[in-house]
Structure 1
Amino acid sequence: MGNCIQVRSELMGSEGPKGVTIHVTGFKKFHGVSENPTESIVSNLTDFVGRRGLPTGVTLGSCTVLETAGDGALPMLCNIMESGVIKGNANNEQVVWLHLGVNSEAVKFAIERQAVNEATFCYPDALGWQPQQLPIIHEDGGISWSRRTSCSVEAILRFLKKKGFDVTVSDDAGRFVRNYVYYHSLRFAQQRNHKSLFVHVPLFSTINLAQMQFAAALLEAIASTC
């Protein structure tokens, strides 16, 4: 099973207030979803935030669209995370990994509190892999093991609700690629004192115009709680 390569952390810079750099990922289309809103959000987020602006001390880092695949998405995910380790340490920043995925049945945004160490795909991923009840990380133990985000989920929820968004908190990210990527990200982040968060968004046909505004507000919400 694939795993992120261990990277030697550089020494922290001089002590002082930390900025926050948020790296964002989305996914390409997959079975049953011909237009993945997270691909559009991530592809346009840099320009959107550039026009809108972010609070002082908050930086939008990389914006990456991943293949909707388990092991197939890991090389790109690991590359951007390893790059974030070096840059974050050099700049004495809090690094946050924000992953966006679509839930085609959702009618509201959902902040995922945890990921489970189980790969069970109800249909093959974009590269044809369809694991059943396999541990994502064998060293972590069985498929019942889970990892929780260190982000302040309730505080982020309150922030977004005050902005007028219909948001909920979820304890089940499913067992498909989204959970698979989230679990790897949480493990990587926890090893390096970073933070990781996964948020599900509805289809464009359910919530259209609010998608980009939500993504920008989500960046602000995460930064305000770090």
Structure 2
Amino acid sequence: MGSEASPSVTIHLTGFKKFHEVSENPTEIIVSKLKEYTAKKGLPKGVILGSCTVLETAGQGALPTLYQTLQSALSGNESESSTSRKTIWVHFGVNGHASSFAIEQQAVNEATFGFPDELGWQPHVLPIIPKNGGITHVRKTSLPVEEIREGLSKKGFEVMTSDNAGQFVCNYVYYHSLHFAEQNGTKSLFVHVPPFLVMDEETQMQFTLSLLEVLASLCQQT
């Protein structure tokens, strides 16, 4: 009975398809396989696994799917009878030069892509959401980034915190998600992962499950 009354968190995830010179994006595989993986391994206590969506690696081109899934998840929560339900969006992106995981603290209101996205768009010094102000405007996650890092480190993963989500689609999507989260009372987090050549698929799946566990634990404390 006690576990049934415990606060629960619904966690939705997104990843990206291939792009530029990244022919295999680990985040597409992680997100696509997560429901099957958790069916075998089990979900951490207090976690409800929501949608798992793979986005086009594009700025404006990814927005219709992104906002559709964000809004759909919000509508689903409104129908829940439990008042203790919390919603977190976790967005995964790959850093082709990384050797560890990175928890991103913030996104900047600037769209400047070093190369065209997968739909051919290459903005230069444009505000992502013009009504938010200039390109220096920053949105930060409301989740405790350092505590998340510590929790994952204790589980044996090499994790760092970062205040630079890059100058490509990752930052673009994260900024939109943080804006949506602020408006709708949800939470958003972006995590960069290394390529599978650096860290194998099974380790990254284990990391994802551990991330869900850490997030649920932190939510139950608040």
TM class, shorter-chain normalised? over 0.9
Partner letter of residue 220 of structure 1? E
Residue of structure 2 aligned with 1:135, choices 127, 133, 146: 127
Equivalent runs, 1:23-172 vs 2, <5 Å: 23-91=12-80, 92=83, 93-172=85-164
Query: For residue 6 of structure 1, what is the aligned residue in structure 2?
Result: none
Tell me, in whole angstroms, the C-alpha distance in 2 between the residues paired with 1:56 and 1:162. Answer: 18
Tell me, in whole angstroms, the C-alpha distance in 2 between the residues paired with 1:50 and 1:44. Answer: 10
Partner letter of residue 25 of structure 1? T
Q: Which has the higher helix share?
A: 2
| Superimposed CA distance per residue, residues 14-41 of structure 1 (whole angstroms, 9 cap, x where no aligned partner) | xx85420000000000001000000000
- Moved segments of 4+, more than 6 Å: none
| Superimposed CA distance per residue, residues 187-225 of structure 1 (whole angstroms, 9 cap, x where no aligned partner) | 001111100000000000000131111111111111111
3-state SS in 1 of match to 2:72: helix
Tell me, in whole angstroms, the C-alpha distance in 1 between the residues paired with 2:28 and 2:160. Answer: 22
Q: Root-mean-square deviation (CA), in Å?
A: 1.0
Equivalent runs, 1:184-199 vs 2, <5 Å: 184-199=176-191
Tell me, in whole angstroms, the C-alpha distance in 1 between the residues paired with 2:96 and 2:45. Answer: 35
| Superimposed CA distance per residue, residues 151-172 of structure 1 (whole angstroms, 9 cap, x where no aligned partner) | 1111111110011000000000
Partner letter of residue 208 of structure 2? A
1:110–1:168 contact (8 Å) kept in structure 2: yes
The normalised TM-score by structure 1 is 0.91
Residue of structure 1 aligned with 2:211, choices 198, 218, 225: 218
The normalised TM-score by structure 2 is 0.93
| Superimposed CA distance per residue, residues 66-120 of structure 1 (whole angstroms, 9 cap, x where no aligned partner) | 0000000000011111111111222232010000000000010000000000000
* Identity over aligned pairs, percent: 59
**Number of corresponding residues:** 211
In structure 1, runs of 5+ residues without a counterpart are: 1-15
Query: For residue 172 of structure 2, what is the aligned residue in structure 1?
Result: 180
> CA offset at residue 57 of structure 1?
2.5
